[in-house]
Amino acid sequence: EVQLVESGGDLVQPGGSLRLSCAASGFNFRLNAMSWLRQAPGKGLEWVSTITHSGGDTYYADYVKGRFTISRDNSKNMLYLQMNSLRAEDTAVYFCAKGRRYGAAVPDAFDIWGQGTMVTVSS
Partner 1 sequence: DIQMTQSPSAMSASVGDRVTITCRASQGISNYLAWFQQKPGKVPKRLIYAASSLQSGVPSRFSGSGSGTEFTLTISSLQPEDFATYYCLQHNSYPHTFGGGTKVEIK
CB of 51 to partner 1, least distance (A): 12
Task: Please identify, using beta-carbon distances, which residue of 7 and 115 lies nearer to partner 1.
Answer: 115
Q: Which residues bind partner 1 (CB under 8 A)?
A: 35, 44-47, 50, 59-62, 95, 100, 106-111, 113-116
Q: Which is nearer to partner 1, 14 or 57 (CB)?
A: 57
Identity of the residue, 27 or 110, whose beta carbon is nearer to partner 1 in the bound complex: 110
Sign of CA dihedral 58, 90, 83, 111: negative
List the Cα angle 80/32/118 in 5-degree steps. Answer: 35
Short-list 20, 34, 27, CA closest to 3: 27
